[in-house]
């Protein structure tokens, strides 16, 4: 089964919690059941006594969610992707969840607050990828998802050492370990899989591993709530899970899609839907391009959208969401509204799989733009020690990224309004909201954040009027105002760590590089070369050097990357690669990444170090351009 939820709320929280069997110490609550603010705590296990241990203080660890798809294995839908200030990454997709954490001792989790329901069965396929730790499901999560202290939940996890663990938390209380089974299954090595199933009965939980019951636990009556996932690493843990099932069906090794009722336990197949059922149907239809009508109301417009979906997918067009329609609707093979393509095929074309060359030794995360089908650009994230690109879903065409870590904002250029016109947009990675910030009367590009994060500079050229000169503009984050930075012509720019701006300007003879104060005053020509063009400047992380592109006026294709001191002195060639080279970005004090254009349609990223030959960064992909360093913290 494939679930395609739109966005997980930013509720990732870290707990310093020692879990039994993982580091040799158990974790439990010191007291049994009592009522607290109307939320029942849980009675002790019926089959084994509670272990005793110390619960350490709560440590809140928020995450900054991005959206991505990792199509090393194609899945339906898109994927929230999380990078915190320690470099931890995690995420999930509609069908496959990949969770990786390098924070030993912290219990990290997310909950999905948008639907409230009471399933009676939870099942998930777990596959460790590396490291050791525990991973599992949260369910019956109640309370304010933005206030951890208010939450109450159950959790059932399976460790890579074969241990099963049952957690609970009451409102305004610390989490408890209700029961552990040290050897519920054999230890799981990298690539091995196990099926964890929780049957939620009226007065107890039954937990199975690979369809064998390993414990039964008495609990209070079932309550509606949301679901979530949690993980804790001993050292470094990466895990993938598939086939999340939430159903009232009888446990089975692998129930066929058409025989299950996902998520809901009161609506028989073929009966008109209501409540959360309608919301899920409508959101999934909208994701596939159909127009389902007002959310939460299964009226004539939703029925018409369902019938249209059924026709497009070879099903009887009765407008009723029966088992076969559920099965197809939640599948990545669902056909899009205005295309003969399935969602899976469309996403394969949109998010091109590409391999990061490990021998290149990427030192820090890097944002880059990849041109996919129909000339559309997408922004992707390359991570050190990873072999696959992670795509960021901005809702359309996107390139030329500029990341502001302090606010979790991604600025980018897009041609989504007009293929011949660039506009500047902002993605708020906490909410998923995307908005246009440049005027539609300008062709805009090259966004760059100020070092204090208060302003975004970009280049814009009027599309109408007598004055067609490009100038740089400032977008002020606090009030959303747009102002002209300098009255004179200006182009591609970058900010130094202290706020000095280096930018490209036409002198009447050639394109030169200038430096100016943050307000545009005191502009100084750094290159001043009538026989050469210089552009695309980039400050080094320390602000002492500038990388840029230079070519002789008589040889426009002989574009090479150079570096110079901040005052324009000590100009040195960094590349000798034949053909145009562009977009240099400093990864650290000794490493540059650049786009090498060996033909009109081929742009490949290379790493250049002070010593050593250029190294190809991305294999099997020849359309990468517009890169930017991705800092995890300000």
For the chain, the straight-line distance linking the first and the last C-alpha, in angstroms and rounded, comes to 40
Once rounded to an integer, what is the mean pLDDT over residues 374-385? 80
Is the Cβ–Cβ distance between 472 and 459 less than 8 Å?
yes
- 174 and 29 Cβ atoms separated by less than 8 Å: yes
CA distance 370 to 627: 10
pLDDT band for position 537 (cuts 50, 70, 90): very high
Q: What percent of the chain has pLDDT over 70?
A: 71
- Spell out where 419-531 has E strands: 421-428, 434-436, 442-449, 455-462, 471-476, 482-484, 493-495, 501-506, 511-516, 524-525
Query: What is the distance between the alpha carbons of residues 70 and 389, in angstroms, rounded to a whole number?
Result: 6
Per DSSP, the chain holds a count of helices (H) and strands (E) of: 4, 44
Per-residue pLDDT, 332:
67
Specify the pTM: 0.67
Q: Is 430 exposed, middle or buried (0-12, 13-18, 19+ CB in 10 A)?
A: middle
Mean pLDDT for the stretch of residues 85-94: 36
Contacts 24+ apart (CB under 8 A), 46-51: 46/204, 46/216, 46/217, 46/218, 47/179, 47/215, 47/216, 47/217, 48/179, 48/180, 48/181, 48/215, 50/177, 50/178, 50/179, 51/20, 51/26, 51/27, 51/177, 51/180
Question: Quick one: 212 exposed, middle or buried, by C-beta within 10 A (0-12, 13-18, 19+)?
Answer: exposed
Q: What is the mean pLDDT of residues 242-264?
A: 39
DSSP reduced 3-state for 285: helix
- Asked whether residue 493 carries a pLDDT value surpassing 50, the answer given is yes
CATH for the stretch 276-347:
1.10.101.10
Distance CA 141, CA 337 (A): 35
The mean per-residue pLDDT over the stretch 471-488 comes to: 93
The closest alpha carbon to 83, from 378, 366, 307, belongs to: 366
What is the separation of C-alpha 531 from the centre of its chain, rounded to a whole number of angstroms? 45
Answer whether 471's CB lies under 8 Å from 491's CB: no
Tell me: the pLDDT tens digits for 270-312? 455 666 668 778 888 988 899 998 888 888 899 999 999 999 9
pLDDT for residue 534? 95
Which 3 state secondary structure label does DSSP give 1?
coil
Q: What is the mean pLDDT of residues 555-584?
A: 92
The confidence score (pLDDT) of residue 629 equals 80
In which band, very low, low, confident or very high, does the pLDDT at 269 lie, cut at 50, 70 and 90?
Answer: very low
Q: pLDDT at residue 333 above 50?
A: yes
The answer to whether 21 touches 163, Cβ cutoff 8 Å, is yes
Q: Do residues 179 and 215 touch, judged by C-beta distance below 8 A?
A: yes
Q: What is the pLDDT of residue 240?
A: 52
- Check residue 612 and give its pLDDT: 77
Q: Does the CA dihedral 583-584-587-591 come out positive or negative?
A: positive
Does position 77 have pLDDT exceeding 70, yes or no? no
Q: Please, which residues have CB within 8 angstroms of residue 205's CB and are 6 or more apart in sequence? A: 154, 156, 166, 198, 199, 216, 217, 219
Q: What is the pLDDT of residue 237?
A: 58
Q: 489 versus 437: which is more confidently predicted? A: 437
Q: Which CATH homologous superfamily contains domain 352-461+468-629? A: TolB, C-terminal domain (2.120.10.30)
What confidence score (pLDDT) does residue 246 get? 42
Can you list the alpha helix ranges (DSSP code H) found in 330-375? 343-350
For residues 527 and 548, give the distance between their C-alpha atoms in angstroms, rounded to a whole number. Answer: 10
Q: Predicted confidence band at 631 (pLDDT cuts at 50, 70, 90)? A: low
Q: Residues 547-567: what's their mean pLDDT?
A: 94
Q: Average pLDDT of 434-453? A: 94
What is the SS3 assignment for 349? helix
Burial 463-498 (b: 16+ CB within 10 A, else e): eeeeeeebbbbbbebeeeebeebbeebbbbbbbbee
Q: Is pLDDT of 83 > 50?
A: no
pLDDT at 460 exceeding the cut of 50 = yes
Is the confidence at residue 60, as pLDDT, over 50? no
The overall average pLDDT reported for the chain is 75
**Nearest-CA neighbor of 44 among 214, 163, 164, 168?**
168
Q: Which band of pLDDT confidence, cut at 50, 70 and 90, is reported for residue 110?
A: low
Let me know: does 139 contact 225? Beta carbons within 8 Å: yes
Q: 403-432: per-residue pLDDT in tens?
A: 988 887 899 999 999 888 999 999 887 666
Alpha-carbon distances, residue 341 vs 284, 288, 324, 432 (angstroms): 16, 11, 19, 26
> Among the listed ranges 9-18, 73-82, 300-309, 317-326, which one has the minimum average pLDDT value?
9-18
Between CA 28 and CA 102, with CA 98 as vertex, the angle to 5 degrees is 60
Tens-place pLDDT, residues 12-32: 222 222 222 222 222 222 222
Share of the chain above pLDDT 90, in %: 35
pLDDT tier at 118 (50, 70, 90 boundaries)? low
Tens digits of residue pLDDT in 148-179: 778 899 999 998 899 999 989 888 888 888 99
338 exposed, middle or buried (CB, 10 Å; 0-12, 13-18, 19+)? exposed
pLDDT the model gives residue 102: 55
Pairing of strands 560-565, 572-573: antiparallel
Residue 227 CA: distances (Å) to CA of 141, 159, 275, 428: 6, 19, 17, 24
Amino acid 516: pLDDT = 95
**In angstroms, rounded to a whole number, what is the distance separating the alpha carbons of residues 418 and 526?**
36
CATH number for the segment(s) 13-255: 2.60.120.560
Residue 484 has pLDDT above 60, yes or no: yes
Question: Average pLDDT in the 75-100 region?
Answer: 38
Q: Kindly state the average pLDDT of the residues 521-544.
A: 93
**Better-predicted residue by pLDDT, 444 or 8:** 444
Q: What SS3 class is residue 513? A: strand
| CA 103 from centre of chain | 19
The helix (H) or strand (E) run that includes residue 198 is: strand 194-200
Domain range list for the chain: 13-255, 276-347, 352-461+468-629
**Same CATH fold assignment for domains 276-347 and 352-461+468-629:** no
Please say whether the beta carbons of 92 and 79 come within 8 A.
Answer: yes
CA distance linking residue 148 with residue 172, whole number of Å: 8
Confidence of residue 239 (pLDDT cuts 50, 70, 90): low
The CA-atom distances, in angstroms, between 81 and each of 7, 68, 89, 91, 160 are 10, 6, 7, 4, 23
Q: What is the pLDDT of residue 267?
A: 40
513 DSSP β-pair partners = 504
pLDDT score of 620? 67
CA 523 to chain centre: 39
Question: What pLDDT shows up at residue 547?
Answer: 96
């Amino acid at each position: 089964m494939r679930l395609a939820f739109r966005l997980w709320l930013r509720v990732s929280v870290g707990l310093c919690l020692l879990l039994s069997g993982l580091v040799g110490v158990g974790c439990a609550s010191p007291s049994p059941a009592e009522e607290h603010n109307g939320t029942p705590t849980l009675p002790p296990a019926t089959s084994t006594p509670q272990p005793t241990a110390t619960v350490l203080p709560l440590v809140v660890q928020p995450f900054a969610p991005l959206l991505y798809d990792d199509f090393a294995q194609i899945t339906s839908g898109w994927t929230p992707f999380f990078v915190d200030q320690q470099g931890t990454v995690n995420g999930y997709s509609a069908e496959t969840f990949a969770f990786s954490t390098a924070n030993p001792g912290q219990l990290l989790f997310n909950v999905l607050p948008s639907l409230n329901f009471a399933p009676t069965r939870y099942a998930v396929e777990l596959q460790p990828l590396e490291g050791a730790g525990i991973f599992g499901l949260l369910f019956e999560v109640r309370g304010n998802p933005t206030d951890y202290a208010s939450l109450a939940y159950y959790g059932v996890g399976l460790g890579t050492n074969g241990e099963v663990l049952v957690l609970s938390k009451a409102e305004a209380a610390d989490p408890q370990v209700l029961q552990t089974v040290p050897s519920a299954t054999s230890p799981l090595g990298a690539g091995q899989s196990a099926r964890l199933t929780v049957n939620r009965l009226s007065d107890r939980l039954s937990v199975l591993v690979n369809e064998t019951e390993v414990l039964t636990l008495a609990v209070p009556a079932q309550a509606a709530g949301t679901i979530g996932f949690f993980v804790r690493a001993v050292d470094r843990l990466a895990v993938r899970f598939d086939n999340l099932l939430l159903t009232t069906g009888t446990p089975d090794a692998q129930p066929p899609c058409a025989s299950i009722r996902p998520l809901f336990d009161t609506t028989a197949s073929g009966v008109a839907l209501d409540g959360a059922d309608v919301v899920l149907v409508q959101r999934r239809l909208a994701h596939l391009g159909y127009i389902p009508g007002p959310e939460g109301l299964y009226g004539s417009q939703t029925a018409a959208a369902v019938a249209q979906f059924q026709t497009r997918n070879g099903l009887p067009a009765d407008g009723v969401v029966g088992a076969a329609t559920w099965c197809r609707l939640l599948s990545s093979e669902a056909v899009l509204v205005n295309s003969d393509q399935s969602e899976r095929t469309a996403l394969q074309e949109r998010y091109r799989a590409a391999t990061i060359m490990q021998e290149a030794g990427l030192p820090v995360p890097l944002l880059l733009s990849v041109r996919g089908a129909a000339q559309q650009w997408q922004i992707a994230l390359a991570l050190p020690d990873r072999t696959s690109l992670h795509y960021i879903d901005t809702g359309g065409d996107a390139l030329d990224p500029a990341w502001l870590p302090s606010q979790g904002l991604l600025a980018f250029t897009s041609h989504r309004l007009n293929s011949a016109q660039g506009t500047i947009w902002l993605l708020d990675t906490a909410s998923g909201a995307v908005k246009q910030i440049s005027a539609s009367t300008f062709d805009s590009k090259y966004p760059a954040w100020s070092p204090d994060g208060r302003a975004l500079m970009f280049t814009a050229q009027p599309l109408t009027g007598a004055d067609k000169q490009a100038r740089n503009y400032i977008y002020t984050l606090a009030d959303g105002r747009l102002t002209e930075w300098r009255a004179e012509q200006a182009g591609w720019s970058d900010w130094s760590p202290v706020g000095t701006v280096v930018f490209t300007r036409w002198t009447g003879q050639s394109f030169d590089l200038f430096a100016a104060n943050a307000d545009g005053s005191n502009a100084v020509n750094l290159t001043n070369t009538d026989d050469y063009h210089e552009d695309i400047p980039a400050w080094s992380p320390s602000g002492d050097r500038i990388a840029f592109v230079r070519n002789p006026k008589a040889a426009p294709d002989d574009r090479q990357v150079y570096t110079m001191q901040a005052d324009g002195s000590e100009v040195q060639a960094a590349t000798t690669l034949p053909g145009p080279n562009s977009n240099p970005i400093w990864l650290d004090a000794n490493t540059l990444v650049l786009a090498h254009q060996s033909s009109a349609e081929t742009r490949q990223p290379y790493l250049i170090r002070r010593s050593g030959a250029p190294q190809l960064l991305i294999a099997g992909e020849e359309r990468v351009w517009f890169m930017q360093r991705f800092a995890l913290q300000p």
